[in-house]
Amino acid sequence: MRGGRRRATARQGKGCRPVKSTLAPGVSYRLNSHHLVPALFPDSPPIATMPRVLATAWLVALMEHACILALEPHLDVGEASVGTSIDLKHLAPTPEAIRIAIEVGCIQVHKRRTVWSIVARDEVEEIGRAIHERIVVESHRFAGSLAAKEKLLAQARI
């Protein structure tokens, strides 16, 4: 990750990279019909008839997107980040056409691992809260691993 020399500090411990205070922006989104539960699997009658509220799967995606945007300026050329875990509480329903704001803050960095605290609010109340982990990867190595897996899958299907 960018930020000058990659050195340990007393607070971070050996091998950690500095956490920058700039790793705490937020983003906002206006919800559309494709963000709602029935749009997830419209061919499934039990899901198609569910309430038209923000789907938890979309809340996860929007939270991940906010973390990606926050971390991206701090990556070196050829680096990307991938999500590895999320502990989410979806606290309140959110209807279509409402705006939601997602605030993220990097709370821990250890080598290539970052941990994020996330809070999502709609125009009325807090709707979700999460702890999310991301790993910084070298894009070409990650792509190579993926290509090798796809090759194995293709051979298995022959």
The catalytic position among 64, 79, 114, 132 is 64
Q: What count of other Cβ atoms lies within 10 Å of the Cβ of residue 38?
A: 17
The catalytic position among 35, 74, 90, 132 is 90
The catalytic position among 9, 22, 34, 56 is 56
56 is catalytic: yes
Contact 65, 25 (CB under 8 A): no
Cα 23 to Cα 126: distance, rounded to the nearest angstrom: 21
State residue 95 phi and psi, 5-degree precision.
Answer: -80, 170
72 is catalytic: no
64 is catalytic: yes
Residues tagged active-site: 56, 64, 90
